Amino acid sequence: MGSGSEVERLAGITRGGSMSSEKPGPDAAKVASTLSKYAMAATQVPDLLNAPMRGCDLISHAPDIEVLSHWALFNPMGPTIKAVFTAAVPDEDRLLLGHCMINPFQSEHVVCGMFEGNRESASEKAREYIIEFFNRNGSPPFPFLQHLPTLIWPSSQGMFSVPECATLLHRSLVHVKPEDLDELATRLQTMRGQPWQRNPPKSFFGVDQEAETEPFEGAWPPPWETYQNWLLTVMNVEHCKAEIPHVGAAWNGAITFQGNMGNQEMADQAMSWETAQLFMRRMLSHAIGSGSSGGAKPPE
């Protein structure tokens, strides 16, 4: 695992202002109790993959997290940050599969899977389940990818290696046309640090918009070479450092816009960019890597 300064460098996050000191974490006993309640409730859900359990903020509680995928999307009206990870329940042989999404105006924290055993003993069953999760692009009511990320941070080295995590993400791109992936990679490469100018009007996120609800005929993951070109671009350290300030500007701008439009209550209740940065730092504290695909290999 990288040091705090290293992962912050990868994220393009700098300390300053209210971010210079973080509040102490919650009491360990309360953390264990909360996670135990989540795990117990999960045992009562017959099919977490199709009916995930909502309202479970694992990020704020779990001390033992392995990051499978963590990314952000630049969007002037609603920048978004997502993560998929496993969380170990303290003092219990149980693992939870978590999926979370935050933007200025809403957040979703769901449990999509629960496995009996610790990371080692539950590994085989958990791996099969997680592969299926990515094959299906998450849970039907809460898809993992709706738009292409514009930056991706390192994953953990645990149940899945860093190259395997890259392969998992590839499995989720079943409705992305290769030409769209190529177009976004080219725009990211040639317009680094200029996200406000680079987005194409017809396909704002670089993804065929109809693919979200109606997969195009013959949908399949894009060729590995096309995918890796895009992946290396969005994980590039210099790209992340150039991109993240604009994600922050879009985050604050979206809140200001709502206030200016008369939606002051919505603006007042929005998540601050400082809080979003704490979320990112929390995920990055469990990640390793150097801003590359970690030697990703195509799936066999």
Give yes or no for a contact between 89 and 35, defined as CB atoms under 8 angstroms apart.
Answer: yes
Q: What is the pLDDT of residue 209?
A: 40
Share of the chain above pLDDT 70, in %: 80
Give yes or no for a contact between 84 and 98, defined as CB atoms under 8 angstroms apart.
Answer: yes
Buried b (16+ CB within 10 A) or exposed e, 174-212: bbbbbebbbbbbebbeeebeebeebbeeebebbbbeebe
177-197 average pLDDT score: 89
Of the candidate ranges 123-132, 218-227, 248-257, 262-271, the one whose mean pLDDT is the lowest: 218-227
Q: What is the pLDDT of residue 123?
A: 83
DSSP reduced 3-state for 81 = strand
**pLDDT tens digit sequence for 238-288:** 999 999 999 999 999 999 999 999 999 999 999 999 999 999 988 888 886
Q: What is the pLDDT of residue 103?
A: 95
71-81 average pLDDT score: 90
For the beta carbon of residue 98, count every other beta carbon within 10 angstroms.
24
Q: What is the pLDDT of residue 207?
A: 44
Of the candidate ranges 7-16, 180-189, 261-270, the one whose mean pLDDT is the lowest: 7-16
| Residue 57, C-beta contacts closer than 8 angstroms, at least 6 positions apart | 100, 109
Query: What is the chain's mean pLDDT, rounded?
Result: 81
CA 78 to chain centre: 15
Which band of pLDDT confidence, cut at 50, 70 and 90, is reported for residue 199?
A: low
| Residue 118, C-beta contacts closer than 8 angstroms, at least 6 positions apart | 88, 93, 95
Which band of pLDDT confidence, cut at 50, 70 and 90, is reported for residue 226?
A: very high
